[in-house]
Structure 1
Amino acid sequence: MAEILVSIIVATYNSSQFVIETLESTRAQTWQNIELIVSDDCSTDTTVELCSNWLAVNKDRFTKTTLITVPENTGVSANCNRSINAAQSDWIKFIAGDDILLPNCLAANMKFITENPQAKAIFSEVLLYKNDFSEENFLHIIPGTFPMNIMNPAFTAMEQYQLLLLSDRITFTPSVFLNRNALLATGGYDETNRLIEDYPMWLKLTKAGNKLYFFKTPTVGYRRHQGAASNVSEYELFKPLFLKSVAIRKKEVYPYLPWDIVGSEKHILWVSKIFQKTGMNKKKSFYAYLYKISTIYLNPFRYIVFIKKKVLRLGETNVFYSDR
């Protein structure tokens, strides 16, 4: 059977330090029928020049290549939408301009899709590295075990949606492999969310009835480095990007959660803002102890949630109070 076309989308912004390594990983795929799209969000370094030169040299490796540029920075969600609209295939593999695809990435995903034709959003394992992809800098596999708390095969899309309302428990986002039509049917990525594109999309997909799938094979290498916005520093209690998720939670989540769970989260956000503004978001023993006391023991809503979970045992009939 002939290989179907698959689109790899390399999303870049000031990625000159790492993007060639990312592009080389697309060229090394065992899957041959590939459309390669590089979508740049107005980089101010040499990213576009590097990508343009690399594509000129390596274009014959791919069925089609496209370089998308814009005159001003629009945010990661808009960058994703531009590349989805440009894609010609039914299947899309996003990769950031500082990460890599393992050689089996496309082939492993397409094998899973052949065996599970109903799947529209597929995740797999991620290899985590520090700074570079050398063997000595390998940290661990994400997730460490099969993520039964969200990818349990018995869960429906609606149950996954409800669990995602409680928290974004998907820590292996770089591995995601998506059906283009399913993405378009949701309306695409919400461009009002300039920095956080993935979590709102998982909510939209599952709410629309698209179950999230997972298979236990590494397909992507993820680089933890100082410049990555999604990384939490080893010196911080929480990543500042956590505070930027408030608008998303207010819009997409709070209207559908019980009031006490919302109250507990708002209390944690309030404490976190104070720690960030006062310079206490540091992994020092006193600050860590104070943060724990403030967000857990001085959080009145947690006691209400505890009573509903452990005393009234509402978790037996209500997923929001379960221990999943």
Structure 2
Amino acid sequence: MENLKIDFAVVVIAFNSEETIISTLESIKKQTVDKKKIHLIIADDASKDGTILVVEKWLEEYKDVFGRVTFIKSEINCGVSGNFNKGVRASREEWIKTIAADDILHEDCLRVNKNFLDVSGGEICFSPVMVFHERVGDSKEVFFKSSFFEKNAYEQNKILIKKNFVYAPSLFVSRRLLLSFGIADERFPMIEDYPLWFKLTKNGVHLKAHKTPLVYYRVNESLSLGKNRIANTKFLDSFFYFRRKVVWPELKEFSFLYKYNDVLTHFALKTAVILFKNKKSIFSNLYIYMLYLTSPVKICHFFNKYK
């Protein structure tokens, strides 16, 4: 088995995922590529629920389906960036597909992504994401700014200074590329994606994309989004720290407006969490939107989104 050429590492990023991770694992098991060419890596970030037991039971039955299986069980929670890095470092394969332990892969995910890069060239690609709450059958395609991916790396980086248009769940990337640029920046423990896109494009890496939706993204209390929760405050703090530490020094035109927008966004969401006990409602939405109306950047983004 050790001599078998395994092409793909599928890295499952898990934390307190006992209720959803089996659906994620089943979607990996249903991939249309030869499963013996898949290295299944499950990185658990010191879950407090029954995630480890649920996974171990599933692996007892299905571990032999894959070419290789690695189960990382951290004793100390290191955040999503650190957990992401542990999973990537455990891989040996040419291609890496990362997936959160509450999301689901389309059965053709690995095959279509690899075929796309084989034809177009490059080492990284993205695709549209289907959003769902409980049932995949009720999923809807999230807004996908395809024009962003038609630009070169320099132009993409300039856009990322203003706003992140890249959805992490659809990431498909070569191991060589990730390791060349230091993987996720652990200074920002709750946000592994945006800093990575920024770093890659700043170093001349063109982010490519195709238009086939291949990932189902569960928004029911995910890390950055939630059906009933206003926000994850640790995520907000990581995001704001990244903007101040990395993005603000790159700002040139209208720098004051973008800095004001960052401060306002952080303030609006953090105070809403406190005032409304982190529960979404008509009143919490109204409070947030009223504050957002004071930001010219927010207003411009709203109209540009639907151009």
TM-score (norm 2): 0.85
Q: Within 5 A, what are the aligned runs for 1:79-90?
A: 79-90=83-94
Quickly say closer, same or farther: Cα 1:73–1:292, change in 2 above 3 A.
closer
Query: Separation in 1 of the partners of 2:18 and 2:213?
Result: 25
Deviation of the 1:288 alpha carbon:
5.3
Equivalent residue pairs, number: 288
Instruction: Show structure 2 runs of 5+ residues with no match.
Output: 301-306
Pairing 1:267–2:260 present: yes
Contact 1:11 1:94 in 2 (8 A): yes
Quickly say closer, same or farther: Cα 1:114–1:296, change in 2 above 3 A.
closer
Identity %: 31
1:160-215 Cα offsets, whole Å, 9 max, x none, are: 11111111122x32111011111111111111111001000001111121100011
Instruction: Show structure 1 runs of 5+ residues with no match.
Output: 306-323
Larger Rg: 1
Residue aligning to 2:201: 206
Quickly say closer, same or farther: Cα 1:248–1:199, change in 2 above 3 A.
same
Q: Within 5 A, what are the aligned runs for 1:147-158?
A: 147-148=146-147, 150-152=148-150, 155-158=151-154
Deviation of the 1:243 alpha carbon:
5.1
Contact 2:9 2:95 in 1 (8 A): yes
TM-score (norm 1): 0.81
1:262-313 Cα offsets, whole Å, 9 max, x none, are: 311232343345433262786448535632443249x9xx9xx9xxxxxxxx
Q: Within 5 A, what are the aligned runs for 1:224-243?
A: 224-225=219-220, 227-233=221-227, 241-242=235-236
Larger CA deviation: 241-250 vs 282-291: 282-291
Aligned CA RMSD, in angstroms, stands at 2.7
Query: Separation in 2 of the partners of 1:186 and 1:105?
Result: 25
4+ residue runs over 6 A deviation: none
Pairing 1:248–2:250 present: no
Quickly say closer, same or farther: Cα 1:132–1:86, change in 2 above 3 A.
same
Alignment equivalent of 1:41, drawn from 41, 45, 55? 45
1:82-138 Cα offsets, whole Å, 9 max, x none, are: 111110101100010001111000000111121023x111001211112232x2x32
Residue aligning to 2:184: 189
Residue aligning to 1:176: 171
Residue aligning to 1:312: none
Q: Quick one: which amino acid aligns to residue 126 of structure 2?
A: F
Query: Separation in 2 of the partners of 1:122 and 1:196?
Result: 19
Pairing 1:129–2:132 present: yes
Contact 1:40 1:68 in 2 (8 A): yes
